[in-house]
Amino acid sequence: MSAQGSAVRRLALTPGEPAGIGPDLCIQIAQVTQKHQLVAICDPDLLRRRAEQLHLPLSIELFDPDEAPCPSPPRTLKVLPVELAATCLPGQLDPRNARYVLRTLEVAVHGCQQGLFEALVTAPVHKGVINDAGIAFSGHTELLEQLTGSDKVVMMLATDGLRVALATTHLPLRAVPDAITAPLLREVIGVLHGELKRSFGIESPRILVAGLNPHAGEGGHMGREEIEVIEPLLAELRQQGMQLNGPLPADTLFTEKYLSQADAVLAMYHDQGLPVLKYKGFGNAVNITLGMPIVRTSVDHGTALDLAGSGNADSGSLQTAIDCAAEMALHRLSEDS
């Protein structure tokens, strides 16, 4: 049965790297009642073993797609089984399980595409061990872009009172200026503007755009990307009705004067925007992939192998990701109906 039309959202949940804290976080959030139905795409024996190590009660129920979505009761988790390749120990990476991690994502994405799930929430994966298994892998975002056949996806992180999207993501700093082109910015801003309307219910989004260079180029004395690329492109998009403020110096953009008048910030590169957001909301922030036909949110942290199985992992970011995914799914349902 499709989850469409139900007051309860049905969300796919992938625990990510089995040796990391992803399974721990899924077990921890399952200890309390969830307003929406969570379905973990993973090996149920992994969850059972990890719950025993954490000394937390967990009842696992096999997922039945023909049942109507209902809130997830405490200490219970629905599971759509995907079998591990090798027994997993907390904190000990095993390349044999790399394809298992990718398979959980493939199953989850397919379920979203079929309308079985209304959103995908992901716990962290470990890029290194997947590559060690001989699989070229640059990250969740790039894989999901491929699996969904999306033309252009945009990474955005959000926490209370701040949303930061990125024009470029995991590029060496020396490669960023060449990557900042008018076609790229037109695509990124178009996706960001459209998703703020469709997935967040913001009728007329207001976007702050950071400059690339210090002081936004200081009139061309510290770089000409603002004059030659960013400003003309923003002027073009303003003519189409978008509310875009910039390019602004990044060192003063993240102040109340500007943020109080904006719905999102577009940073030119990864470490221009994300340190500010993570300082403000680390542990209670969410990573959102914009521009896909499915809703996808994720945690704002990594696998934390040293914490796996210890009971000391903080599930705040995963809970935020779940709540955000459900809200986005609801907005999309309303916007698309």
For the annotated binding site for substrate, the residues are 140-141, 278, 287, 296
| Token pair in block for residue 212 | 């690339």
Residue 243 is inside which H or E element, if any? strand 243-248
| Whether the Cβ atoms of residue 325 and residue 297 lie closer than 8 Å to each other | yes
Exposed, middle or buried by CB within 10 Å (0-12, 13-18, 19+), for 9? buried
Rounded to 5°, the CA angle 13-14-19 comes to 140
Long-range CB pairs of 52-55 (<8 Å, 24+ gap) are 53/90, 53/309, 54/24, 54/27, 54/28, 54/309, 54/311, 55/311
For the annotated binding site, the residues are 140-141, 170, 215, 270, 278, 287, 296
Tally of CB atoms within 10 A around 169 = 16
| Whether the Cβ atoms of residue 16 and residue 52 lie closer than 8 Å to each other | no
Q: How far apart are CA 192 and CA 209, in angstroms?
A: 12
Query: Nearest CA to 96 among 50, 142, 135?
Result: 135
Q: How far apart are CA 264 and CA 32, in angstroms?
A: 32
Q: How far apart are CA 47 and CA 40, in angstroms?
A: 10
